[in-house]
Chain A
Amino acid sequence: MVTELFTDYTLRTIALGAALIGIVSGSLGTYAVLRRQSLLGDTISHAALPGIAAAFVLTGSKASIVLVAGAAAAGFAATLCVFAIVRTTRVKLDAALALVLSVFFGAGLVLLTWIQSRPDARQAGLDTYLFGQAAALVQRDVVSIAALGAAALLVALAFWKELKLLSFDPDFAATLGLRIRALDVLLTGLLVVAIVIGLQAVGVVLMTAMVVPPPAAARQWTDRLGAMMVIAAAIGALAGIGGAVLSAQAEHLPTGPTIVVCLTALVLVSILFAPRRGLVARRWLERGRARRLRLQAVLGGLEALAREHEGGAHGHSAAVLRLAGGARVEEQLEELRRRGLAERLGEDEWAVTRAGREEAQRLEDER
């Protein structure tokens, strides 16, 4: 199955194309996710539809580069509309996104059906942009995806410091004299490029799923922007290749949705198993912390008893300590004994050791 990746020309092209799309949208999507604009990608990709149709009407060409240019123009116009609506009216971001998304998509549908109703055979195949057709990727498409994607990534690298500042602390960026509005437009433009290069393969409906999941998964593994972008790109690439290979194996398994399912699986794995942030790791940490707290409570209890009965090693029964340590106080006393902090003087008679008193004192000082 994997060896076919190297021998089968068609599969290799599709997998390479999907991987490149995953890399570009994953790494540039990082900014969108960090800036809480995840759904902007959804609006851009849906809004690209009228651009594709209009580009065909205006030029009569079906070359992917022409249609991609149209898609980019429409996607960009849509985001400008969204920001203008939010800035000039009391309509909130969510409603502006939903409105622009659906109205642009509706207008695209009108154009597309209007084109189809005309006696012009050249239009056939425009509607593949709705759901994408990864199987139709040829080498030329992959080359243009690589070129446009590389250009977008290079621009992002060139403005690395500015974009980072914009994403984490826009107010500070503004006080430094950076031109926030211009950077905003630049970042939106990069996101538009990342999205439109994937439309042919993945389609307008699912392209948003290439933008959000890779960064969302990558976020769980790191706290650093650079690492997050690299991990997001790797996840995007992995899912792209995985989806392409899987859908080549089985019949009637469309590539776009298969990639999305792969991405979702990677997100779930990240959310569950990522070190430190992951749910499993967090549960583990919490359990350890709770045990440590109970141990310290019992040790503190022993120390308090020892102070009350100064001079001579008295033993105290576990029941006295239950107040501090809860129901399983014997377990904790045993653990303290193993660590040399408490000793057992007789059947159900416990006392704190010298080391234990020092430790208890240290903990108290810490507090």
Chain B
Amino acid sequence: MTSAQVEIQLIAVVVSVGCALPGVFLVLRRLAMASDAITHSVLLGIVVAFFVVRDLSSPALVAGAALTGLVTVWLIELLRRTGLVREDAAIGLVFPALFSIGVILVSRYAGSVHLDIDVVLLGDVAFAPFDRFVLFGWDWGPAALVKMTAILLLNAVLIGAFWKELKVASFDPGLAYALGFSPALVHYGLMGLVSVTAVGAFDAVGSILVVALMVGPPVTAYLLTDRLGTMVGLAAAMGATGGIAGYWLAYWLDASIAGSIAAVIGLQFAAALFLAPGRGLVALWRRRARQRVRFAETMLAIHLLTHEGRPEAAVESRLDHLRELLRWDEPFADRIVRSAVRGRLVTAGAGGLELTDRGRELAAEAIAES
């Protein structure tokens, strides 16, 4: 690996983890689409701030753009409060408007501005290592890496410092209010973090894929755990591995790095969706199938117990009669009987099925329970 490759992967990891941290709270607070709104409208902030400072790497750009993010959130809230449009429509009204104004500004002054919408929207981390951050005559690394590391640290420190507040406000807003935290302050604080992170990440991965990095790893982690701390850790880990795997996928395909990271994040989610222990779809299907067999076996045992020792027992314990009575088709009935025999609930003889002691116990228990 060349040093540029190492640096690109470092940037990918730092950006992914930096986005995943505030993303956890976006997902828990059902604000995922607000991040989509913020990342789009931040373009306007970047453009306006750029007109003022004329420097794409200036910190003023981050501040200005972050402010636009907050303005977006505030406008959505303002629209919603009128009661004339619902929240989802409010989001859908605000961000396209701000984004469009941004695009128009860029196109109008394209000649005098070295700012490409493609780059803002899609990002390009491949050339990031050439833009160095030099301070005091010392090369600290790629500018994007330095900037995003600072934002990652900011996110980690703030989320760590306000952990309790964020946790309570996310899971029980009523309690948070009763305890005296201002819900507005928590909300706008988090949105401010999301805005700053979106601005920091946009030139590496573009504003649309920031959404993938913010929402994807936390959602995957959400499928795997019930604990907030574990969820944050898992989300960060997912983000980091997604960043590295995405880089190599892009390298192999000779395609967009940001897009590949998003695709890997999608694969991670799909894997968790199907394979998550305990609540993944595969586990769910297997549990359902097991329960179905278990239920059928119990039905069989109850039926045999009811007629055991009575004159009709000989007829009632015949398999074809049972099938008709319980409305089982042949393969299912065979499966259940085989499984019941294997489980030593019944024995199959020439005269039909006969309960074992264990089978009687099961049936009696089931009847007592119901």
B262 touches A107 (CB 8 A): yes
B97 touches A110 (CB 8 A): no
B88 touches A102 (CB 8 A): no
Residues 84-101 (chain B) with a chain A CB within 8 angstroms: 84-86, 88-89, 91-93, 96-97, 99-101
Q: Which chain B residues lie closer than 8 Å to A271 at the CB level?
A: 79, 82, 84-85
A252 touches B108 (CB 8 A): yes
A95 touches B121 (CB 8 A): no
From B31-39, B228-236, B293-301, B338-346, the one touching the partner chain is: B31-39
Which residue on B lies nearest to A46, using beta carbons?
B208
For B33, B214, B222, the residue with the greatest tally of chain A CB atoms inside 10 Å of its CB is B33
- B208, B211, B263: the one contacting A205 at CB < 8 Å is B208
**Which secondary structure dominates where chain B touches chain A?**
helix
- B34, B96, B100, B259: the one contacting A107 at CB < 8 Å is B259
From B175-183, B248-256, B304-312, B362-370, the one touching the partner chain is: B248-256
A89 touches B255 (CB 8 A): no
Alpha-carbon distance A252/B35, docked complex (angstroms): 29
A216 touches B89 (CB 8 A): yes
Whether A253 is near chain B, meaning CB under 8 Å from some CB there, is yes
B215 touches A95 (CB 8 A): yes
Cβ proximity bits B93-128 to A, threshold 8 Å, 1 near / 0 not: 100110111011001101000000110011000000
Alpha-carbon distance A97/B212, docked complex (angstroms): 11
Known: A106-B209, A107-B263, A114-B253. A98 touches B104 (CB 8 A): no
A106 touches B121 (CB 8 A): no
Known: A89-B273, A114-B253. A279 touches B215 (CB 8 A): no
Known: A95-B219, A109-B262, A257-B104. A41 touches B92 (CB 8 A): yes
B190 to chain A, nearest CB (A): 15
Whether A277 is near chain B, meaning CB under 8 Å from some CB there, is yes
B297 to chain A, nearest CB (A): 27
B102 to chain A, nearest CB (A): 8
Whether A38 is near chain B, meaning CB under 8 Å from some CB there, is yes
Whether B63 is near chain A, meaning CB under 8 Å from some CB there, is no
Whether B247 is near chain A, meaning CB under 8 Å from some CB there, is no
Which residue on B lies nearest to A41, using beta carbons?
B92
Whether A163 is near chain B, meaning CB under 8 Å from some CB there, is no
Known: A91-B222, A208-B92, A271-B84. A260 touches B100 (CB 8 A): yes
B84 touches A277 (CB 8 A): yes
A211 touches B32 (CB 8 A): no
Whether B27 is near chain A, meaning CB under 8 Å from some CB there, is yes
A253 touches B223 (CB 8 A): no
Tally A-B pairs: CB < 8 A.
205
B107 touches A264 (CB 8 A): no
Whether A300 is near chain B, meaning CB under 8 Å from some CB there, is no
Residues 175-231 (chain A) with a chain B CB within 8 angstroms: 205-206, 208-209, 211-213, 215-216, 219-220
Known: A33-B89, A264-B93. A39 touches B33 (CB 8 A): yes
Whether B266 is near chain A, meaning CB under 8 Å from some CB there, is yes
B216 touches A103 (CB 8 A): yes
A257 touches B92 (CB 8 A): no
Alpha-carbon distance A219/B260, docked complex (angstroms): 41
B366 to chain A, nearest CB (A): 30
Q: Which chain A residues lie closer than 8 Å to B26 at the CB level?
A: 95
A103 touches B262 (CB 8 A): yes
Which residue on A lies nearest to B272, using beta carbons?
A89
Q: Which chain B residues lie closer than 8 Å to A212 at the CB level?
A: 89, 92-93, 96
B260 touches A110 (CB 8 A): yes
A106 to chain B, nearest CB (A): 2
B107 touches A254 (CB 8 A): yes
Which residue on A lies nearest to B253, using beta carbons?
A114
Q: Which chain A residues lie closer than 8 Å to B34 at the CB level?
A: 94
Q: Which chain B residues lie closer than 8 Å to A256 at the CB level?
A: 100, 103
Q: Which chain A residues lie closer than 8 Å to B85 at the CB level?
A: 216, 219, 271
A106 touches B261 (CB 8 A): yes
Alpha-carbon distance A112/B250, docked complex (angstroms): 12
A261 touches B208 (CB 8 A): no
Whether A37 is near chain B, meaning CB under 8 Å from some CB there, is yes
B109 to chain A, nearest CB (A): 8
B117 touches A131 (CB 8 A): yes
Whether A108 is near chain B, meaning CB under 8 Å from some CB there, is yes
Cβ proximity bits A234-258 to B, threshold 8 Å, 1 near / 0 not: 0000000000000000001110111
B199 to chain A, nearest CB (A): 17
Q: Which chain A residues lie closer than 8 Å to B107 at the CB level?
A: 252-254, 257
Q: Which chain A residues lie closer than 8 Å to B222 at the CB level?
A: 90-91, 95
Whether A130 is near chain B, meaning CB under 8 Å from some CB there, is yes
Q: Which chain B residues lie closer than 8 Å to A303 at the CB level?
A: none
Alpha-carbon distance A46/B97, docked complex (angstroms): 17
Whether A144 is near chain B, meaning CB under 8 Å from some CB there, is no
Q: Which chain B residues lie closer than 8 Å to A89 at the CB level?
A: 223, 273, 279
With contacts A33-B89, A106-B265, A212-B93 known, what are 19 further pairs, Cβ within 8 A?
A: A38-B86, A39-B91, A41-B92, A92-B27, A94-B30, A97-B32, A98-B32, A98-B36, A103-B216, A106-B259, A107-B259, A110-B253, A113-B256, A130-B122, A209-B96, A219-B85, A260-B97, A261-B101, A264-B93
Interchain residue pairs with CB less than 8 A apart (8): A88-B284, A95-B27, A102-B215, A109-B262, A208-B92, A216-B92, A257-B103, A271-B79
A-B CB proximity, top 4 nearest: A106-B262, A109-B259, A103-B266, A209-B96
